[in-house]
Structure 1
Amino acid sequence: MASPQHPVDAVLPPRAMLTLGFQHMLVSYLGAITVPMIVAAALKMTPAQTTLLISTALFTSGIATLLQTVGFWKFGVRLPIMQGVAFSSVGPVIAIGTDPSLGFQGVCGAIIGAGVITLLLAPVIGRLRQFFPPVVTGCIVTAIGLSLFPVAYQWLGGGRGAPQFGAPVFFAVAIGVVALILAINRYGSEFLRNLSVLIGLLAGAAVATALGMGDFAEVRRAPWFTMVQPFAFGLPVFDIGAIVTMTIVMLVQMVESMGLFIAIGDLVKRPVSEREATNGLRANGLASAIGGMFAAFPYIAFMENVGLVIVTGVRSRWVVATCGVLLCAVALVPKIGALFASIPAAALGGAALVMFGVVGAAGIKTLGQVDYENNRSNLTIVAITLACALMPVIMPSVLEKLPEALQPFVHSSVIIACVVSVFLNLLLNGLPGRDAPLAHAGEHAPEI
């Protein structure tokens, strides 16, 4: 008798796939374009170059998402994981790009080289799977949720640089979005509940625009069409020092990705094996190498979208794969992308409060299943990990005088949570046996 299909592998009707995929794209879009905008400003690129860089980042984000969700051969973890540009790569990219002897062509060469190296090292890093028991993954997911809150608060207040930041009208729009999402989840049909974040976000955006919050200047300036092609900024320059620098950054990102794969697998009730984690890391390396060819960046999972998976309860990887296809399409039409980016921040803040809160709640739920009675070391692991992981969120200035080489890493709560929790678990609980069962999260995701 054939075993029932896992919800992760479910193929939904076309209308549901398209609307749910669009919802994922809308949630991820702003995060996907933030890094290229920061890099373009730091490297003093022209408006045309900035538009091209944003388009290539979106296009390769779509490719990276398809590699992880659909997968092929030994590539892809095959989970509902949206891939986006890794923020920890911003510092090294700017450092390499501002070197007169390298420029952005040196950035592309470094990312291609590091992508190939990390692809080859994936089986080695994949063996770290056994170092991520529930006490570790629970800490990581909780830290992710808590570290995302400042982003939600900034949007809720009107967005960075808003003239009247924190004005009551911004709070009113955000609270209205939250209230609508809650109402749909309480009284709506199953189809509407699956789209609750999208409906709340679009309704909030309409209200905010009517109140004069929208700024559509970039929509008017953006071109209708752009062509994404390899080596748009010229042939890559392969510098050994730059490749080594980027490889070190991406090795740390591989450890972070390992924690994310396992945590996401637990959340969707499909525990990730060592082989599957290795396949996911291979896909990250390949996606990064492709990103370098298209003048883009290294990639990692976007936890904002994991929050959406939990809120909707739709775990299908094919929905997120649809998001990847839509990203590739939108990358070719910058005017549409600019329209998405013009959604008023207050509306985004309301949706983010729900999604990010659910991610944190999922981590707390996992930690609630950890044995503290018979193993008091677990309480110590959780306490110290969260205390360390929240430093970049609550008081980032305390980390500013650490060595420059550590700055891209110590300002990531996820990386700190991964490293500290794994280290403390090894120190206090020892190395688990290779044949130990892989415990995972409970049967039901937290409800909003």
Structure 2
Amino acid sequence: MSDELSHAALGSVRERLFRLDTMAYSLQHFIFGVANAAAIPVVVGSALGLDAVEIGALAQRTFFFAGIASLTQAFFGHKYPIYEGPAGVWYTTFVLLAATAVQAGKPLELLRTDLMTGLFAAGIMTILLGVFKLMPYIRKLFTPIVNGTFLIIMSLQFSSTIARGLLTTVDGKAILSIDKLGVFFVAIGTILMLSLKAKGFIRSMAVLIGTVVGWIVAYATGVAQSLQTIAAQHQPALAFPQIFAWGRPTFDVGVTITALMAGLVVLSNLVASVSGMDELYKRKEKVSIYSKTAICTGVADILAAIGSVVGFIPYASSIGFASLTGVLDILPFIIGSVFMVFLGLIPSVGNFFAAMPITVGYAVMFSVFIMIMGMGIKDAAKEGMDTRKTVILGFSILLSNVITVLPVQAFSILPSSLIYLMANGLIIGVTIAILLEHVIFRVNLK
């Protein structure tokens, strides 16, 4: 009887596989994944000192491993249509560590290999949290005020990086570029207008459409390189992404500790994604699903280290995407993820996205962080803002900003292994918020 049922289920999948609506929904998932990942290699690659060819390879690897990570979750993890992509915490950490390394005089080539070791360590830690079913305890750390503080700080931290992307050098002085500002606001305006005014599929594709419009304006104003530059880069039609593209992993205590902290912080996004999808599917929340999801995310981070890409996390935006489109079937998501993997086998696609003007990339990130900032404010105020919560929020954010504006040289009194950790305003701010919430100003519930 079980064989008959399995054959019947397989037949049902085969019938659905070639239906027009299934293919349309699959393309929709695929475009959603591309839209969320396309700008990140440009922003991170630029911060890490990669040239255009290396950024193209990073984009190719990002698509490939994001598809693999999403399929891993679909089959072995939460089994929801949640896109597993480059985490905001991870790429913010990469960019901030790069800025710190430049100030400290550390070669970015060495930082890149240090980051691979950090991702390995964070991946193993996340797997262990899942194996030993410790995720419920991690969930308790990230109360609404802590989660809100984290999201607000992350948004503020990235703003300085975006500001640098709007500058140009004239006579040795950094000044605002009118052309870059124009491209920046056209891209942001398109994304926000579509997000607020459009409906259905067009609204869900606001980021991708805004990216294309900003890119066109960038070419028209001379901010972007020409398409001839892309075409001149000869690449094979298909190629497997390079493994350990940044070299053999190296170890730095400060970078590894920072990565472990980032790995813990990013788990709040994992919990939000799965719990939100539980509500959407109207299913009773199970503790085991968080353990399975954590294990798969840990595996994804190890794959990210091997592939030399930004670490992954289940995207909370997938909840909004599923709610907006009304598509809860897992099959189109699986097909869309397979498309992502295939996209990662085409080097010319990576080269194409590497040609994206960095200003457009920053515009996409800015629009994303507008929403993240809003989510942070909502989380912080979810249960009301009394004096205690105001102190936790205000103290953590202000201390984080103080640390961010201090030059790295101010931390030279510390051991070199701790500089990356202590100079990271995001990690310190969130750590302080957790200590204030759960230790110093702890509320004893009876």
| Length-normalised TM-score, structure 1 | 0.70
Letter in 2 for 1:193: R
Letter in 2 for 1:341: A
Residue in structure 1 matched with residue 76 of structure 2 by the alignment: 72
Residue in structure 1 matched with residue 301 of structure 2 by the alignment: 288
Instruction: Quote the offset at 1:335 in angstroms.
Output: 1.6
Correspondent of 1:223 among 206, 218, 235: 235
Instruction: Quote the offset at 1:258 in angstroms.
Output: 1.8
Residue in structure 2 matched with residue 18 of structure 1 by the alignment: 27
Change (3 A) 1:328 1:414: farther
1:26 and 1:340 in contact (8 A); partners too: no
Residue in structure 1 matched with residue 393 of structure 2 by the alignment: 382
Instruction: Quote the offset at 1:246 in angstroms.
Output: 8.1
1:262 and 1:277 in contact (8 A); partners too: yes
Residue in structure 1 matched with residue 5 of structure 2 by the alignment: none
Residue in structure 1 matched with residue 6 of structure 2 by the alignment: none
Q: Equivalent residues in 2 for 1:49-448 (5 A)?
A: 55-68=60-73, 70-72=74-76, 79-83=82-86, 86-87=90-91, 88=93, 115-116=123-124, 118-122=126-130, 123=132, 125-126=134-135, 127-157=137-167, 166-185=176-195, 187-216=197-226, 217-228=229-240, 242=251, 248=257, 250-264=259-273, 270=279, 275-292=288-305, 294-296=306-308, 299-301=311-313, 306=317, 324-373=337-386, 376-391=387-402, 393-395=404-406, 397=408, 400-401=411-412, 402-430=414-442
Instruction: Quote the offset at 1:426 in angstroms.
Output: 0.8
2:141 and 2:434 in contact (8 A); partners too: yes
Change (3 A) 1:309 1:372: same
Aligned length: 405
| 1:292-337, Cα deviation, whole Å (9 max, x unpaired) | 5x4435723388x849958995697868767754442232222212
Change (3 A) 1:404 1:420: same
Letter in 2 for 1:259: S
Residue identity over aligned pairs, in percent, reads 15
Q: Which piece of structure 1 moves more, 242-251 or 381-390? A: 242-251
Letter in 2 for 1:257: V
Change (3 A) 1:29 1:183: closer
Change (3 A) 1:399 1:66: farther
Q: Which piece of structure 1 moves more, 187-196 or 396-405? A: 396-405
Change (3 A) 1:235 1:150: closer
Task: Give me the whole-angstrom Cα distance separating, in 2, the residues matched to 1:423 and 1:107.
Answer: 26
Task: Give me the whole-angstrom Cα distance separating, in 2, the residues matched to 1:81 and 1:432.
Answer: 37
Instruction: Quote the offset at 1:31 in angstroms.
Output: 1.9
Change (3 A) 1:66 1:411: farther
Task: Give me the whole-angstrom Cα distance separating, in 2, the residues matched to 1:166 and 1:307.
Answer: 35
1:140 and 1:363 in contact (8 A); partners too: yes
Instruction: Quote the offset at 1:180 in angstroms.
Output: 3.0
Letter in 1 for 2:76: F
Change (3 A) 1:121 1:140: same
Letter in 1 for 2:416: E
Change (3 A) 1:244 1:19: same
Letter in 2 for 1:333: I
Letter in 2 for 1:131: L
Letter in 2 for 1:149: S
Task: Give me the whole-angstrom Cα distance separating, in 1, the residues matched to 2:429 and 2:337.
Answer: 28
Instruction: Quote the offset at 1:209 in angstroms.
Output: 0.9
Instruction: Quote the offset at 1:154 in angstroms.
Output: 3.9
SS at match of 1:423: helix
Letter in 2 for 1:254: G
Task: Give me the whole-angstrom Cα distance separating, in 2, the residues matched to 1:189 and 1:344.
Answer: 28
Instruction: Quote the offset at 1:215 in angstroms.
Output: 0.8
Change (3 A) 1:309 1:39: same
2:153 and 2:397 in contact (8 A); partners too: yes
Task: Give me the whole-angstrom Cα distance separating, in 2, the residues matched to 1:260 and 1:116.
Answer: 18
Letter in 2 for 1:120: L
Letter in 1 for 2:67: G
Instruction: Quote the offset at 1:357 in angstroms.
Output: 1.0
Task: Give me the whole-angstrom Cα distance separating, in 2, the residues matched to 1:316 and 1:415.
Answer: 36
Task: Give me the whole-angstrom Cα distance separating, in 2, the residues matched to 1:107 and 1:400.
Answer: 21
Change (3 A) 1:369 1:189: closer
1:33 and 1:58 in contact (8 A); partners too: no
Instruction: Quote the offset at 1:364 in angstroms.
Output: 0.7
Letter in 2 for 1:368: A
SS at match of 2:301: helix
Letter in 1 for 2:266: S
Task: Give me the whole-angstrom Cα distance separating, in 2, the residues matched to 1:96 and 1:155.
Answer: 18
Letter in 2 for 1:289: I
Letter in 2 for 1:261: L
| 1:95-134, Cα deviation, whole Å (9 max, x unpaired) | 99859xxx97x99788667744652343365232212211
SS at match of 2:312: strand
Change (3 A) 1:416 1:281: farther
Task: Give me the whole-angstrom Cα distance separating, in 2, the residues matched to 1:362 and 1:234.
Answer: 34
| Length-normalised TM-score, structure 2 | 0.70
* Structure 2: segments with no counterpart, 5+ residues: 1-20
Change (3 A) 1:71 1:148: farther
| 1:46-73, Cα deviation, whole Å (9 max, x unpaired) | 99888666644542233224334x2515
